[in-house]
């Protein structure tokens, strides 16, 4: 198993079933050559689930940098669930970087479901 997290000066990505370097590069809006440059010892022909890749982090100016934050512009049809899966994160982490997300209006007539709590 390839472990690159110790010397990573970017984001560490853990390979999942079905991943390819090209797919990972597209998911993070990176050039494949940059992913390869940051991971010179990864076996591109035998990528294994659990391998750790170091992904360069893009700054707001589009340059590779050392910040741990990146941006994503939502596409038509994106759902919150899709975005959480895409970036392997949870709602609380996403809301921490995007406080306005909590203030998004809920459409009128939208039915919300809540669990029933047992009385104390």
For 50-86, the pLDDT digits (tens) are 999 988 875 444 445 444 566 677 778 888 898 888 7
Give the Cβ contact number of residue 8 at 10 Å.
18
Which SS3 state, helix, strand or coil, does residue 13 take?
strand
**H helices then E strands: how many in the chain?**
4, 4
Q: Which of 85-89, 93-97, 109-113 has the highest mean pLDDT?
A: 109-113
- The answer to whether the beta carbons of residues 71 and 25 sit under 8 Å apart is no
pTM over 0.85: no
- The pLDDT assigned to 5 comes to 52
What domains, with CATH codes, occur in the chain? 1-58 (3.10.350.10), 71-104 (no CATH)
How far CA 10 is from CA of 5, 22, 53, 75, in Å, comes to 9, 18, 10, 25
pLDDT at 99 over 60: yes
pLDDT of res. 3: 57
pLDDT in tens, 14-44: 899 989 999 998 888 888 888 898 888 888 8
* pLDDT value of residue 108: 92
What is the sign, positive or negative, of the torsion defined by CA atoms of 91, 92, 94, 95?
Answer: positive
Burial class (CB in 10 A: 0-12, 13-18, 19+), 54: buried
What DSSP designation does 57 have?
A: E
């Amino acid at each position: 198993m390839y472990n690159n997290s110790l010397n990573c000066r970017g984001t560490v990505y853990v390979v999942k079933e079905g991943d390819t370097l090209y797919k990972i590069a597209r998911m993070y809006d990176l050039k494949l050559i940059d992913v390869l440059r940051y991971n010179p010892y990864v076996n591109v022909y035998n990528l294994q689930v659990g391998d750790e890749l170091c992904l360069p982090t893009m700054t707001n100016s589009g340059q590779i940098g050392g910040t741990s934050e990146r941006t994503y512009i939502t596409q038509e049809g994106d759902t919150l669930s899709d975005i959480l899966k895409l970036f392997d994160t949870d709602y609380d982490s996403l809301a921490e970087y995007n406080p306005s997300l909590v203030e998004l209006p809920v459409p009128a007539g939208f039915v919300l479901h809540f669990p029933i709590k047992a009385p104390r």
